[in-house]
Chain A
Amino acid sequence: MGTALDIKIKRANKVYHAGEVLSGVVVISSKDSVQHQGVSLTMEGTVNLQLSAKSVGVFEAFYNSVKPIQIINSTIEMVKPGKFPSGKTEIPFEFPLHLKGNKVLYETYHGVFVNIQYTLRCDMKRSLLAKDLTKTCEFIVHSAKGKFTPSPVDFTITPETLQNVKERALLPKFLLRGHLNSTNCVITQPLTGELVVESSEAAIRSVELQLVRVETCGCAEGYARDATEIQNIQIADGDVCRGLSVPIYMVFPRLFTCPTLETTNFKVEFEVNIVVLLHPDHLITENFPLKLCRI
Chain B
Amino acid sequence: MAVFPWHSRNRNYKAEFASCRLEAVPLEFGDYHPLKPITVTESKTKKVNRKGSTSSTSSSSSSSVVDPLSSVLDGTDPLSMFAATADPAALAAAMDSSRRKRDRDDNSVVGSDFEPWTNKRGEILARYTTTEKLSINLFMGSEKGKAGTATLAMSEKVRTRLEELDDFEEGSQKELLNLTQQDYVNRIEELNQSLKDAWASDQKVKALKIVIQCSKLLSDTSVIQFYPSKFVLITDILDTFGKLVYERIFSMCVDSRSVLPDHFSPENANDTAKETCLNWFFKIASIRELIPRFYVEASILKCNKFLSKTGISECLPRLTCMIRGIGDPLVSVYARAYLCRVGMEVAPHLKETLNKNFFDFLLTFKQIHGDTVQNQLVVQGVELPSYLPLYPPAMDWIFQCISYHAPEALLTEMMERCKKLGNNALLLNSVMSAFRAEFIATRSMDFIGMIKECDESGFPKHLLFRSLGLNLALADPPESDRLQILNEAWKVITKLKNPQKREVNTVLADVIKHMTPDRAFEDSYPQLQLIIKKVIAHFHDFSVLFSVEKFLPFLDMFQKESVRVEVCKCIMDAFIKHQQEPTKDPVILNALLHVCKTMHDSVNALTLEDEKRMLSYLINGFIKMVSFGRDFEQQLSFYVESRSMFCNLEPVLVQLIHSVNRLAMETRKVMKGNHSRKTAAFVRACVAYCFITIPSLAGIFTRLNLYLHSGQVALANQCLSQADAFFKAAISLVPEVPKMINIDGKMRPSESFLLEFLCNFFSTLLIVPDHPEHGVLFLVRELLNVIQDYTWEDNSDEKIRIYTCVLHLLSAMSQETYLYHIDKVDSNDSLYGGDSKFLAENNKLCETVMAQILEHLKTLAKDEALKRQSSLGLSFFNSILAHGDLRNNKLNQLSVNLWHLAQRHGCADTRTMVKTLEYIKKQSKQPDMTHLTELALRLPLQTRT
Task: List A residues at the B interface (Cβ < 8 Å).
Answer: 11-13, 203-204, 207, 231-241, 244-247, 249-251, 253-254
Contact call A253/B274, Cβ cutoff below 8 A: no
A231's nearest neighbour on chain B, judged by CB, is B286
Give B511 Cβ to nearest chain A Cβ, in Å: 44
Task: Please determine whether A237 and B271 come into contact, CB atoms closer than 8 angstroms.
Answer: no
Distance from B850 Cβ to chain A, minimum over Cβ atoms (Å): 87
| B322, B364, B366: the one within 8 Å of A249 (CB) | B322
Given A13-B271, A245-B324, verify A233-B286 contact (CB < 8 Å). Answer: yes
The answer to the question of B732 belonging to the interface, with a C-beta cut-off of 8 Å to chain A, is: no
Known: A247-B318, A251-B282. A238 touches B331 (CB 8 A): yes
Indicate if the CB atoms of B367 and A241 lie closer than 8 Å: yes
Known A-B contacts A238-B326, A240-B324; the reply to A11 vs B318 at CB < 8 A is no
Return B940 CB to nearest CB of chain A, in Å.
Answer: 76
For the complex formed, measure the closest distance between the CB of A252 and the CB atoms of chain B, giving whole angstroms: 9
Interfacial chain A residues near B325, Cβ < 8 Å: 207, 234-237, 240, 246-247
A235 to B321, CA, bound (A): 10
B286 and A12 within 8 A (CB): no
User: Told that A247-B321, A254-B282 touch, could you supply 6 new A-B pairs with CB distance under 8 A?
Assistant: A12-B274, A235-B325, A238-B327, A241-B327, A241-B366, A249-B318
Task: Give CA–CA (A242, B823) in the complex, Å.
Answer: 97
Asked if B942 is at the interface of the complex by the 8 Å CB criterion, the answer is: no
Count, A-B residue pairs, CB within 8 A: 87
Whether the pair B289, A253 counts as a contact (CB closer than 8 A) is no
A232-B288 in contact (CB<8A)? yes
**Cross-chain contact A234 with B289 (CB below 8 angstroms):** yes
Whole-angstrom distance from the CB of B500 to the nearest CB of chain A? Answer: 46
Closest B residue to A192 using CB positions: B318
B285 at the interface (CB under 8 A from A): yes
Asked whether B288 lies within 8 Å of A234 as measured between CB atoms, the reply is yes
Please measure, in the bound complex, the distance between the C-alpha atom of A240 and the C-alpha atom of B282, giving whole angstroms. Answer: 26
Chain A residues, CB < 8 A from B293: 233-234
CB-based contact A244/B363 at 8 Å: yes
Interface membership of chain B positions 267-300, coded 1 if the CB is closer than 8 angstroms to chain A and 0 otherwise: 0001110110010011001101111010000000
Task: Please give the distance in Å from B823's CB to the nearest CB on chain A.
Answer: 91
| CB pair A11 B327 closer than 8 Å | no
Question: Which 3 pairs of residues, A with B, have the shortest CB-CB distance?
Answer: A238-B327, A12-B271, A236-B325
Q: Is the CB of A253 within 8 A of B286?
A: yes
Closest to B320 in A: A247
Give the docked Cα–Cα distance between A180 and B718 (Å): 105
Please provide the chain B residues from 217 to 241 with a CB less than 8 Å away from any CB of chain A in the complex.
Answer: 219
**A232: which B residues are within 8 A, CB to CB?**
288
Minimum CB–CB distance from A173 to chain B (whole Å) comes to 15
Contact with A along B321-338 (1 / 0, CB 8 A): 110111110010000000
- Cβ distance A22 to chain B, nearest Cβ, rounded Å: 16
Q: Which residues of B contact A254 (CB under 8 A)?
A: 282
B372 close to chain A: CB less than 8 A: yes
Docked Cα-Cα span, A289 to B541, in Å, equals 79
29 CB-based A-B contacts, threshold 8 Å: A13-B271, A13-B275, A13-B278, A203-B371, A204-B327, A233-B293, A234-B290, A234-B325, A235-B290, A235-B322, A235-B325, A236-B324, A236-B327, A237-B290, A237-B291, A237-B326, A238-B326, A238-B328, A239-B328, A239-B367, A239-B370, A241-B363, A244-B324, A245-B324, A246-B321, A247-B318, A247-B322, A250-B285, A251-B286
CB neighbours (8 Å) of B272 from chain A are: 12
A240 to B373, CA, bound (A): 11
**Chain B residues in 8 Å Cβ range of A239:** 327-328, 367, 370, 372
- A237 engages B219 (CB within 8 Å): yes
Residues in B with CB closer than 8 Å to A245 are: 324
Give the distance in Å from the alpha carbon of A273 to the alpha carbon of B363 in the complex.
28
Q: How far is the CA of A244 from the CA of B282 in the complex (A)?
A: 27
Instruction: Choose among B285, B286, B288, B325 the residue with the greatest number of A CB atoms under 10 Å from its CB.
Output: B325
Expressed in whole angstroms, the Cα–Cα distance for A244 and B331 within the complex equals 17
The complex places the Cα of A34 from the Cα of B324 at a distance, in Å, of: 62
Which residues of B have CB within 8 Å of A234?
A: 288-290, 293, 325
Residue of B nearest to A15 (CB): B275
The answer to whether A244 and B364 touch across the interface, beta carbons within 8 angstroms, is yes
Complex-state Cα separation, A238 to B294, whole angstroms: 15
User: Which residue of chain B has the shortest Cβ distance to A255 in the bound complex?
Assistant: B282
**A167 smallest CB distance to B (angstroms):** 25
Name the residue of chain B whose CB is nearest to the CB of A197.
B327
A240 in contact with B288 (CB, 8 Å): no
CB nearest to B289 among chain A residues: A234
**Cα separation A232 to B271 with both chains bound (whole Å):** 30
CA distance A12 to B252 in the complex (A): 13
Residues of B near A240 (CB, < 8 A) are 324-327
Q: Contact: A233 with B328, CB < 8 Å?
A: no
B278 neighbours in A (Cβ, 8 Å)? 13
A13 to B271, CA, bound (A): 8
| Residues of the A chain whose Cβ atoms lie less than 8 Å from the Cβ of B286 | 231, 233, 251, 253
On chain A, the residues within 8 Å of B270 by CB distance are 12
Task: Name the A residues within 8 Å of B370 (CB-CB).
Answer: 239
| C-alpha spacing A63/B326, complex, angstroms | 49
Complex-state Cα separation, A207 to B289, whole angstroms: 10
A231 contacts B282, C-beta separation under 8 Å: no
**Across the interface, which residues of A come within 8 angstroms of B275, CB to CB?**
12-13
* Chain B positions within 8 Å of A207 at CB level: 325
- Shortest Cβ distance from B281 into A: residue: A251
Q: Which residue from B289, B321, B360 sits with its C-beta under 8 Å from A237?
A: B289
Alpha-carbon gap, A1 to B415, bound state (A):
75
Report the minimum CB–CB distance from B844 to chain A (whole Å).
96
Q: Report the bound CA distance from A55 to B26 in whole Å.
A: 110
Q: Is B324 a contact of A241 with CB atoms below 8 Å?
A: yes
CB distance from A8 to the nearest CB of B (A): 11
Tell me, rounded to whole Å, the shortest Cβ–Cβ distance linking B213 to chain A. Answer: 16
B367/A236 in contact, CB under 8 A: no
Kindly list chain A residues whose C-beta atoms are within 8 Å of the C-beta of B291: 237
Residue of A nearest to B324 (CB): A246
Cβ contacts under 8 Å, A233 to chain B: 285-286, 288, 293
Output the nearest chain B residue to A254 by Cβ-Cβ distance. Answer: B282
CB proximity to A under 8 Å, residues B619-671: none
> Which B residues are CB-close (under 8 A) to A250?
285
Q: Nearest-CB distance from B639 to chain A (Å)?
A: 74
Contacts of A251 in B (CB 8 A): 281-282, 285-286
Nearest Cβ on chain A to B286's Cβ, whole angstroms: 5
Q: How far is the CB of B231 from chain A (nearest CB, A)?
A: 16
Q: Which residue of A lies closest to B363 (CB)?
A: A244
B:299-322 near A, CB below 8 Å: 318, 321-322
Contacts of B324 in A (CB 8 A): 236, 240-241, 244-247
The residue on A at minimum CB distance from B221 is A238
Kindly state the separation between the CA atoms of A204 and B290 in the bound complex, as whole angstroms.
14
A249, B297: Cα distance in complex, Å: 14
By a CB distance below 8 angstroms, the chain B residues around A246 are: 321, 324-325
Most buried by A among B274, B293, B324: B324
Question: Given the complex of chains A and B, what is the CA–CA distance between A209 and B291 in angstroms?
Answer: 15
For A238, list chain B residues within 8 Å (CB): 219, 326-328, 331, 372
Which B residues between 258 and 273 are near A, CB-CB below 8 angstroms?
270-272
Bound together, the chains give a CA A240 to CA B291 distance in angstroms of: 13
Which residues of A sit under 8 angstroms from B366, Cβ to Cβ? Answer: 241
Chain B: which residue is nearest A241 at the CB level?
A: B364
B282 touches which of A204, A237, A249, A253 (Cβ 8 Å): A253
The residue in A12, A204, A238, A253 that gathers the most chain B C-beta atoms within 10 A of its C-beta is A238
* Residues in A neighbouring B371, C-beta threshold 8 A: 203
Contacts of A12 in B (CB 8 A): 270-272, 274-275
A141 to B274, CA, bound (A): 19
Which residues of A lie under 8 Å from residue B372 when comparing CB positions? 203, 238-239
A residues less than 8 Å from B367 (CB atoms): 239, 241
The smallest beta-carbon distance between A125 and chain B, in angstroms, is: 32
Q: Please report the C-alpha to C-alpha distance between residue A80 and residue B275 in the assembled complex, in whole angstroms.
A: 35
Q: Whole-angstrom distance between the alpha carbons of A127 and B293 in the complex? A: 53
Name which of A204, A237, A253 has the most chain B CB atoms within 10 A of its CB.
Answer: A237
Measured CB to CB, the closest approach of chain A to B96, in angstroms, equals 31
